[in-house]
């Protein structure tokens, strides 16, 4: 970047730690479900940074053009790249993931088919002035001033200092694809890579069928993750995601406990998964999936289990019909019949139109 900006890439974003309750006496913002990005704007030169400090610039040409066109003052913004759906809009994280593609032709096509938007929530620098040591309350005021006249698809995030309003956002806005509330100290400086904010996310429980496992990356006789399923109305078992993060000792114990339930793909509800298995010495074993931009060669095969175990998990919400994030183990449910584990048990958020929060372009 030109030397006019006092803050230059890469910069690690300030982070949040999870808490159970919305704390008092804070600034409150909605928690956006997108790609975190620190954006550096200096005339026609625009860099979209990421949480892992790898530029996102090439994947979102439509945003680069908007920043270059709309911002006349050099600045550094912290915010979130999101992709809303159409009509009664809601955030579509799966669409956003698809935007990270190695082919320039595909990137350009998706920039037209599923255009991204940017939600700004902090200002790190403006002109030649570094604001990172400035209290948040002043940074927010400067950001509001900077954003005057800026139009969609670039937005200023809503903010309130009223905890009652924040609780209302927490309950209502989930239906638009937002996943909680961020609470910030108005007196705080900007602290890169430090968990000084608080995040409050929705927590739910579900009883799921354990349909298989993957071993730990460092131990073939220890569980890395359990594959979960829920039954559809037609009796089929749908994959909804995984749980993991077991203590080291428990990983090995669990591996031994699950061996009596190991079956083959032909007798498993997910018989389609047999396509990712190969025969080695007469035995069926999962093979390593083809590498892609998503799994980086990660082993996507699994060992199938007879669907007889039920586990209660905690999770935040579903993206479509799958867990948006990895679920967490809560307890075993030997009292539950696996066939009773259906989608009907899940809490579905009320619909909320994202247009009421972010006006469409």
- Single out the residue of 224, 223, 228 nearest to residue 253, CA to CA: 223
Task: Measure the CA–CA gap between 32 and 80, rounded to whole angstroms.
Answer: 7
Task: Measure the CA–CA gap between 214 and 224, rounded to whole angstroms.
Answer: 5
Q: Which residue stretches of 162-234 are H helix?
A: 163-172
Catalytic residues: 31
- Single out the residue of 206, 205, 208, 187 nearest to residue 196, CA to CA: 187
Beta strand spans in 174-332 (E):
181-184, 195-200, 204-216, 219-231, 237-244, 277-280, 283-286, 303-315, 318-319, 322-323, 328-332
Would you say 293 and 102 are in contact if contact means Cβ atoms under 8 Å apart?
yes
Task: Measure the CA–CA gap between 358 and 266, rounded to whole angstroms.
Answer: 49
């Amino acid at each position: 970047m030109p030397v006019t900006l006092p803050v230059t890439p890469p910069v690690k974003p300030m982070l949040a730690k999870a808490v159970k309750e919305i704390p008092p006496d804070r600034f409150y913002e909605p928690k956006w479900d997108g790609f975190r990005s620190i954006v550096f704007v200096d005339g026609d030169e625009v860099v979209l940074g990421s949480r892992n400090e790898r530029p996102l610039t090439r994947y979102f040409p439509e945003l680069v053009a908007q920043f270059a066109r709309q911002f006349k003052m050099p600045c550094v913004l912290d915010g979130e790249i999101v992709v809303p759906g159409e009509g009664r809009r809601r955030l579509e994280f799966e669409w956003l993931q698809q935007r990270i593609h190695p082919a320039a032709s595909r990137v350009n096509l998706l920039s037209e088919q599923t255009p991204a938007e940017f939600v700004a929530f902090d200002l790190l620098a403006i002109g030649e002035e570094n604001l990172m040591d400035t209290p948040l309350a002043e940074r927010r005021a400067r950001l509001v001033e900077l954003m005057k006249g800026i139009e969609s698809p670039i937005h200023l995030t809503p903010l309130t200092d009223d905890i009652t309003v924040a609780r209302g956002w927490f309950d209502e806005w989930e239906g638009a694809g937002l996943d909680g509330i961020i609470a910030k100290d108005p007196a705080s400086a900007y602290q890169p890579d430090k968990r000084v904010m608080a995040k409050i996310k929705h927590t739910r429980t579900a009883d799921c069928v354990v349909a298989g496992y993957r071993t730990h990356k460092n131990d073939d006789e220890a569980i890395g993750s359990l594959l979960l399923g829920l039954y559809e109305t037609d009796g089929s078992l749908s994959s909804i995601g995984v749980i993991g993060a077991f203590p080291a000792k428990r990983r090995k114990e669990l591996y031994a406990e699950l061996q009596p339930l190991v079956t083959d793909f032909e007798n498993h509800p997910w018989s389609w998964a047999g396509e990712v298995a190969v025969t080695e010495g007469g035995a069926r074993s999962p093979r390593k999936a083809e590498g892609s931009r998503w799994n980086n060669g990660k082993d996507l095969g699994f060992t199938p289990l007879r669907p007889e175990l039920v586990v209660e998990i905690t999770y935040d919400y579903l993206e479509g019909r799958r867990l948006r994030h990895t679920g967490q183990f809560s307890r075993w449910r030997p009292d539950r019949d696996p066939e009773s584990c259906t989608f009907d048990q899940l809490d579905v958020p009320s619909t909320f139109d994202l247009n009421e929060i972010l006006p469409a372009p």
